[in-house]
Structure 1
Amino acid sequence: MINLLRMELFKLGKNRMFWTLMIIVTVVFALLHVLITIGWWKMDNMFMGAGLEMFSSLALATAPFYFMLFLCTFAGFFVANDFTIGVAKNIVMSGNRRSHIFLAKFIVLALGSMVLAGVCPFIVIIGGKVLFGFGEMTDPSALGYLARAVGLFLIHMLALVALLMLIAVLAEDSGKTIIISIVIALFISVAEVLRPLPGVLEAMYRYSIFHHLIDSFRIRMTYADVIQSLLVGFSSLLILVFFGILVFKRKEIK
């Protein structure tokens, strides 16, 4: 397992698409952050209300369609592309257990995704504050809210990464993985706008990782809300990883 992780980390370091996406994410978010901070793009969001003006651009970075666009591209070229070029077949033939292969790929995919969706935006925000004084923080005590919100968001993002991994294994093609994932992201965005959804669809959506991704940044959450969010996130993560391993074990890799 350790050797598999080292191999996947080596592949990540050599993956041109990952570094390209990292540069694109940093540049795009930096531009959006500057426009929001200088007031050119007016935004009233939960960070403003919490007294964390310097983090207001995070509202864009945590929008499902925004980060799904980058993560599905990363998953497509890091996981699905292995089936296309024959790398997956070589790894399976090496004698390693398929469950270990899947878990190693998922862990490294999750690490890369956290860098793209979390680390890059925070580096831009902190760097902007240190270098140019961008943004204010009128209520430092609200940093507790930010830590809770980011923690919940990352849990649900990991579950989403497990879903992207499953899609990539099933599709075996980077293009199909990206298209399917973007369609899902569009459905998430539309569902949030149209809420409340009719009948049982509303209940299904309310207890899904897609809703809790957005709901993680709600300013006021009760203890019961946090527990529910954690249960949805962890249970979804475990279920998706389990089905991913099951599919990968039974898959005929050509």
Structure 2
Amino acid sequence: MGNLLKTELYKLKKDRSFRTLVLILILFSVLYPFTTKASSAAKLTLDEYYIYNILSINNDIIKLLPCIFAGFFITSEYSTGTMKSIASSGNSRLRIYFSKLTMFSIGSIIILLILPVFMTTTAGIYFDFNGTTDWMYILKTFGLIAIYGAAFASVMTIVATVFTDNGKTIGFLLMFFALINSLLDFIASKLTFLKTIIHNSVFMLYPGIYKFNQLDDRELFTLIIVPILTFIVLGVLGSFIFRKKEIK
């Protein structure tokens, strides 16, 4: 398992799509605050700017960039024959799948954290914000973004494993993440017995993670445990699909 992880880490570092996305996000994160009027930002605290500007943009990123990354980092290995070589190397498919899932999750988390980290830092230096900043609150949201990023990565890895084609994977994932919340809302309104499960899914919980400090202990526990369980359950499901899959 260790050698597989090292191999996937090497691939992650050398992956052109990952490096390109990271570079674009860093440039955007550093430059975007300069497009905001200083007078407008001065009326806010950094916490408020972080919630209403940075996290709102990041919510769109989670629906776009990791989907594109999945299409290149995972499915491209099927088309090039790399996955067939790995599968025939003697390593168990369970280890192969989880090593790929682990590194893809790390890459996705990095992508999702670049904007909050760099843009928050740039804005904090550039603007003279009103009031004090709750840095502990901001750091805790970083942690929540990370575990939700891993949960979404487990969904993307399954889709990439099923389709094994760049275009199909990216297209389906973009459509899926664009429509899933509306679709789940519709299902919950029609099938009320599923309402609790749907409203406590990672898709419905993620948009409200910035409100975690307003939740009671039970709600906070749900907010944290759901993405962790999602990652584990979908990881096992994905490894089962990969084990049964015929790799050409």
TM-score normalised to structure 1 length = 0.84
Pick which of 152-161 and 116-125 moved more.
116-125
**Structure 1 unaligned regions, length at least 5:** none
1:176-215 mapped onto 2 (5 Å cutoff): 176-188=168-180, 190=182, 197-200=189-192, 202-215=195-208
Pairs aligned (count): 244
- Counterpart residue type for residue 77 of structure 2: D
Match of 1:74 among 60, 69, 79: 69
1:136 is aligned to: 129
CA distance in 1, matches of 2:116, 2:77: 28
Q: Could you tell me which amino acid in structure 1 is paired with residue 220 of structure 2?
A: V
Return the match for 1:171 from 159, 163, 166: 163
For 2:10, the equivalent position in structure 1 comes to 10
CA offsets 1:6-36 (integer angstroms, 9 cap, x no match): 1111111211111111122223344443334
Aligned to 1:52: 47
Deviation at 1:118, TM superposition (A): 0.3
Structure that is richer in helix per residue: 2
Alpha-carbon separation, structure 1, partners of 2:139 and 2:157:
27
CA deviation after TM superposition for structure 1 residue 238, in Å: 1.0
Note if contact 1:191-1:197 (Cα within 8 Å) is conserved in structure 2.
Answer: no
RMSD over aligned CA atoms reads 2.7
Provide the TM-score with structure 2 as the length reference: 0.86
Task: Please give the alpha-carbon distance, in whole angstroms, between the structure 2 residues aligned to 1:24 and 1:51.
Answer: 23
Name the counterpart of 2:228: 234
* Distance in 2, Cα, partners of 1:188 & 1:138: 38
Structure 1 residue 85 corresponds to structure 2 residue 76? no
Inter-CA distance 18–199: structure 2 relative to 1 (3 Å threshold) = same
1:139 is displaced (CA, Å) by 3.0
- Work out which of the residue numbers 104, 115, 118 in structure 1 matches 2:113: 118
Identity level (%): 24
Task: After the TM superposition, list the runs of 4 or more consecutive aligned residues in structure 1 that deviate by more than 6 angstroms.
Answer: 192-196
